[in-house]
Amino acid sequence: MSTAKYNYSDISEVRKVSDMHKSIQDISKIELHCHLDGSTSIALIKQLAAEQNITLKESYLLVSENCESLDEYLQCFDEILKVLQTKDSLKRAVVDVAQQASKDNVKYIEIRFAPLLHTEHDLSLADVLEAVEAGVQLATETMDIKINLLVCAMRQHEATVNEALFDYLAQRDSEVVRGIDFAGPESAFPPEDIRTTIQYGLDKGFNLTLHAGECGCMHNVMESIKLGAKRVGHGVAINENEAALQEIKRNNVMLEMCPKSNVQTKAIKDLTELNIPYLLEQDIPFIINTDNRTVTQTSLNEEYALLMKHQLISIEQIEFINLRAVQYAFLSDVEKENLKSVM
């Protein structure tokens, strides 16, 4: 990854315009932490349920206002996954999420998904990848957005299962699969417990982003960096520890922050704990994301609006962090230059 830095005062890079006339919608954005299942719209979920004759508990699709933990938050996915077990539903889900992102003026998105969670009925691993890749192709052909994929292994799965997943991905060598992640219950399966499997994926040549620090454990974030993560999903356990944040900066690792989701899972008590003014002042890489548009009931524009409402970020700074994020996308140098040209 290039270690080139954007200088916040460099007008040519930030392309300042009159802040009075620029809105959140106007800013071209990048989203690097968006889950396919948790972002499939309610409308499509209901449509798929009707087509497949599946009865859903609709109240389980959205996180409860009284959610007390990450584990409780994750229970929503069990209901959504019931309708995402066919090639047709997966293809349409990708297009659906891309449409939502496009409405937020997202120019580049990395959508992550766990293929093995879509093989509960008749689909093979190959079927799942084919369907999701077809969705990417259709979306990019019909919208002004570039899409790549991140494949999530599940922390709770046996090492042999995840290693077989990485073997298949390496053999398939998909043009749009750009990295791997480990999702699922972080506290029960911290990075050191899955170290061997993480290394197995790295040895296959995959870019690595890791969910870490979402359950209050700062050690998990630091361990993720040591294990080779180029980005950390959430990472909020370290956001008020200056020494840890400086370590993030030294290693040129980006934090994939998901504000509204982090409040819902009780990863943070309130938005000030994100420590965004310090991150900006110290040039510590981070980008704002939705995590799960439907489960969290959010959009990327809403995430930024929420931060602006609490005076944690300005329009100019939103533009800056999105431009800077190009350097941390899992893209080739040529692709990064092409992306910068449309930002």
Give the residue from 286, 289, 279, 291 showing the smallest Cα distance to 321: 286
Q: Model confidence over 82-141: pLDDT tens digits?
A: 999 999 999 999 999 999 999 999 999 999 999 999 999 999 999 999 999 999 999 999
Q: Model confidence over 314-331: pLDDT tens digits?
A: 999 999 999 999 999 999
Structural domain including 181 reads 31-330
Between CA 152 and CA 114 the distance in angstroms is 5
Among 35-39, 114-118, 243-247, 292-296, which is the least confidently predicted range?
Answer: 292-296
Enclosing H/E stretch for 211:
strand 209-212
Neighbouring C-beta atoms of residue 269, cutoff 10 Å = 9
pLDDT of residue 2 exceeding 80, the answer is no
Q: Model confidence over 85-99: pLDDT tens digits?
A: 999 999 999 999 999
What is the residue type of 338?
Answer: N
Handedness of CA 61, 146, 153, 167 (dihedral sign): positive
Give the residue from 2, 23, 1, 27 showing the smallest Cα distance to 14: 27
Report yes or no on 13 lying in a domain: no
Report yes or no on 324 lying in a domain: yes
Between CA 63 and CA 335 the distance in angstroms is 36
Q: How many domains does one find in the chain?
A: 1
Neighbouring C-beta atoms of residue 50, cutoff 10 Å = 12
Between CA 75 and CA 150 the distance in angstroms is 21
Q: Find where tokens 């609490």 sit.
A: 310
> Exposed/middle/buried for 340, CB within 10 Å: 0-12, 13-18, 19+?
middle
Whether 303 and 1 have beta carbons less than 8 Å apart is answered as: no
Packed helices 125-142 and 159-172: angle between N→C axes, nearest 10 degrees = 50
Whether 214 and 70 have beta carbons less than 8 Å apart is answered as: yes
Whether 31 and 291 have beta carbons less than 8 Å apart is answered as: no
Please identify which of the residues 133, 214, 223, 319 carries the catalytic annotation: 214
Average pLDDT over every residue of 205-214:
95
What is the residue type of 60?
Answer: Y
Tokens for 103? 């409405």
Count helices and strands in the chain by DSSP H and E runs: 16, 8
Whether 230 and 255 have beta carbons less than 8 Å apart is answered as: no
Q: In what order do the strands lie in the sheet with 231-234?
A: 209-212, 231-234, 254-257, 286-288
Phi, psi dihedral angles at 104 (to 5 degrees): -85, 5
Report yes or no on 16 lying in a domain: no
Among 8-12, 188-192, 307-311, which is the least confidently predicted range?
Answer: 8-12
Report yes or no on 3 lying in a domain: no
Report yes or no on 196 lying in a domain: yes
Q: What is the pLDDT of residue 77?
A: 83
pLDDT of residue 296 exceeding 50, the answer is yes
Q: What is the pTM of this model?
A: 0.92
Domain CATH code at residue 107? 3.20.20.140
Q: Model confidence over 7-24: pLDDT tens digits?
A: 444 434 444 444 556 899
106: β partners: 29
DSSP 253: P
Report yes or no on 103 lying in a domain: yes
Report yes or no on 21 lying in a domain: no
Neighbouring C-beta atoms of residue 195, cutoff 10 Å = 13
Give the residue from 100, 65, 71, 77 showing the smallest Cα distance to 263: 65
pLDDT of residue 336 exceeding 90, the answer is yes
Report yes or no on 26 lying in a domain: no
- Maximum CA extent, the chain: 56
To the query of whether residue 214 is one of the catalytic residues in this protein, the response is yes
Whether 107 and 120 have beta carbons less than 8 Å apart is answered as: no
Q: What is the pLDDT of residue 15?
A: 46
Whether 61 and 80 have beta carbons less than 8 Å apart is answered as: yes
